[in-house]
Amino acid sequence: MSIESSYERWLLSPRVDQTSKDELRKMSVEEKNDAFFKDVEFGTAGMRGLLGPGTNRMNVFTVRKATIGFAKYVIEKYPDARLRGVAISHDNRHMSRAFTLDIARTLNLFGIKAYIFDSLRPTPELSFAVRHLNAVGGIIITASHNPKEYNGYKVYDENGCQLVPYRIDRLVEIIASLKNELEVEVEHYRPYGKTITLGKEIDDEYIRLVEAIQINPQLDKKGFKIVFTPQHGTSYMPAMRIFKDTGYEVYPVLSQCDPDPDFSGTLSPNPEDKRAYIEPIKLAEKIGGNLIVMNDPDADRVGVAYLSSKGTYELFTGNESGALLIDYVLGQRKAKGLLSKNGILYNTIVTSSLGTAIAQSYGVKVQSLLTGFKFIGDQIALNEKIGGPHFEFGYEESYGCLIAPFCRDKDGLQAILLYCEMALFHFRHGKTLDQVMEELQQKFGYHYDCQFSIEFKGPEGAQLMSQLMVALREKPLDEILGRKVVRREDYLQSLAYENGKTEAIHLPKSDVMKIFLDDETTIAVRPSGTEPKCKFYYGAVGTDRTATKEKPAALHAALCQIYHLK
């Protein structure tokens, strides 16, 4: 169906409210094209998009169609799906509660029990709740760290893990078989399912398990000041409860604590964005804070800033903070005899090699999986079934990690607790975090990892992004900035090329290219699964701090010139 016919279908439909129709009439040609050139679709992190009318937008019709598909999927997969039910949660965003209630009603019409919280909750708690309730799946409405105009829809399996390709493929088939989002019908199964509002027992058990991951709970916390912000999201109440229970001296950024869908107290809710740290740093300077920690709005990620040895507040990337935490967790577990002899750490194919080097130095295996924490959660479940290896840690460069696998998604509350413990541990040993990082870099080599993104908006943008990936495959680099390419990994073709030979890559197919240079530097190119952009990951390794730090930007400029990118 063409863009224009889809647009007219919405304008003429009696199911579309007048406010939405007025919004449609005000759309520019560009806005109309973007709203209707495709259906909003599942990617590496579920379904995510701008709020508003249209097939490529998050609205009650597109959300309901996805829910109808998920209802059919769980009924087909689980004979007892109606009895076991589905857990649902949401974040602070516009329409999140309304979507949640509509999802529950839709599931009920299929005879499926729906568990909902009384208000917003962190994404990792939803993952935990699925497992705790023995539900057949979960749904959370969240757009994570995206701007206020966005919302999203993530689906979870019975293990509390986001659906991986071999599971989600069938769901996508079912959704594709349904009528369009305005005409799809809900089945009316009798008896209807019930909606059950979850009580505080879920919160209590989840928080108990989070607090149980402490390694050195006895550390003296007096005089160690922490600034915390939930970025208007879901973590304020549970995080403050955890801080109180564990005895930390915490100063919340009060202007960012209300669950405001407009994020009015922050310039960005994204821990990857330096603007997110402006207000927390102001408060830290005022009270003499030692550490700044923040969750993104759905509380599955953590940003870290710290008081450096120079007396200034500095930021860590997700790769850097992850490496520090890996060293602390594995080092302390080893010192206490808690480290498994058959331990494994999971990261992703675009995560820094520094964490790998640190883990291997403790005798821990490392397995790199595709981008998306669902692959880590799924691998945890698979290894549990075969009796090992034992999960020690999982993380990805985008500020997310998991310490204890009682949930199967990255957990910003687990992470925030152990980042505080790690920083306090080093503080008590007279070290700032930049000093600890320098020690790691001197031991394992300087690692500097940097990500760049290029937006490709609208139907033309999607085509240009596709052409770039074709060019990377059909016109592969032999060298760049004087460094030879020694290996190429094509995750769409599931093949690696090195020394004139090919070998299979045993991971699900994904449109990613990774290039290895002869100085251990890596370049990975990956179209985003949830946003109209292509991401470029550069991982430089070297013995000189300055030269290594300058390398990613130079490589990106060179790559853009070679492939005519703006």
CATH code of the domain containing 516: 3.30.310.50
d(CA 277, CA 156) in angstroms, rounded, equals 31
Give the structural domain span for 544: 446-562
Which pLDDT value is given to residue 222?
97
Q: Please tell me whether residues 31 and 119 are part of one structural domain.
A: yes
Burial 158-185 (b: 16+ CB within 10 A, else e): bbbbbbbbebbeebeebbeeeebbbeee
Q: Please tell me whether residues 187 and 242 are part of one structural domain.
A: no
Q: Which long-range contacts (CB under 8 A, 24 or more apart) does 493-500 make?
A: none
Which pLDDT value is given to residue 528?
79
Q: Please tell me whether residues 66 and 215 are part of one structural domain.
A: no
> Pick the catalytic residue: 6, 96, 127, 144?
144
At which of 444, 473, 496 does a domain end? 444
At which of 444, 475, 498 does a domain end? 444
Q: What are phi and psi of 141, to 5 degrees?
A: -95, 110
Q: Please tell me whether residues 390 and 465 are part of one structural domain.
A: no
Contacts of 401 (CB under 8 A, 6+ apart): 302, 322, 325, 393, 394, 395, 410, 411, 414, 415
Which pLDDT value is given to residue 165?
87
Q: Please tell me whether residues 414 and 493 are part of one structural domain.
A: no
Which pLDDT value is given to residue 132?
98
Q: Please tell me whether residues 242 and 344 are part of one structural domain.
A: yes
Which pLDDT value is given to residue 334?
98
Q: Please tell me whether residues 286 and 391 are part of one structural domain.
A: yes
pLDDT in tens, the chain (566 residues): 799 999 999 999 999 999 999 999 999 999 999 999 999 987 556 799 999 999 999 999 999 999 999 999 999 999 999 999 999 999 999 999 999 999 999 999 999 999 999 999 999 999 999 999 999 999 999 998 889 999 999 999 999 999 998 888 899 999 999 999 999 999 899 999 999 999 999 999 999 999 999 999 999 999 999 999 999 999 999 999 999 999 999 999 999 999 999 999 999 999 999 999 999 999 999 999 999 999 999 999 999 999 999 999 999 999 999 999 999 999 999 999 999 999 999 999 999 999 999 999 999 999 999 999 999 999 999 999 999 899 999 999 999 999 999 999 999 999 999 999 999 999 999 999 999 999 999 999 999 999 999 998 777 788 889 899 999 999 999 999 999 999 999 999 999 999 999 999 999 999 999 999 999 999 999 987 666 789 999 999 999 999 999 999 999 999 999 998 87
Q: Please tell me whether residues 247 and 334 are part of one structural domain.
A: yes
Which among 532, 349, 538 is positioned nearest to 451, based on CA atoms? 538
Contacts of 251 (CB under 8 A, 6+ apart): 225, 226, 227, 228, 283, 287, 289
CB 332 within 8 Å of CB 344: no
The single residue listed with the structure tokens 């919004």 is 23
Which pLDDT value is given to residue 62?
97
In 194-289, which ranges are E strands? 195-197, 225-229, 249-252
Q: Please tell me whether residues 232 and 176 are part of one structural domain.
A: no
Q: Is 546 exposed, middle or buried (0-12, 13-18, 19+ CB in 10 A)?
A: exposed
CB atoms within 10 A of CB 76: 12
**Three-class secondary structure of residue 562 per DSSP:** helix
Q: Please tell me whether residues 153 and 47 are part of one structural domain.
A: yes
Which among 534, 310, 355 is positioned nearest to 449, based on CA atoms? 355
- What is the tally of structural domains in the chain? 3
- The answer to whether 2 is a known catalytic residue is no
Which among 181, 239, 132, 131 is positioned nearest to 13, based on CA atoms? 181
At which of 198, 218, 250 does a domain end? 198
- Domain at 169, CATH number: 3.40.120.10
CB 229 within 8 Å of CB 252: yes
Count how many Cα atoms sit within 13 Å of the Cα of residue 33 in the half-sphere of its side chain: 9
Q: Please tell me whether residues 288 and 158 are part of one structural domain.
A: no
The pair of structure tokens assigned to 164 is: 């991986």
Write a three-state SS string for 294-330.
Answer: EECCCCCCEEEEEECCCCCEEECCHHHHHHHHHHHHH
| CA-to-CA dists, residue 534 to 449, 480, 512, 526, 529, angstroms | 17, 20, 10, 6, 9
d(CA 515, CA 477) in angstroms, rounded, equals 9
The single residue listed with the structure tokens 């998050």 is 58
Which residues partner with 305 through β-bridges?
292, 315
Q: Please tell me whether residues 66 and 167 are part of one structural domain.
A: yes
The pair of structure tokens assigned to 148 is: 């206020």
**Three-class secondary structure of residue 83 per DSSP:** helix
Which pLDDT value is given to residue 123?
97
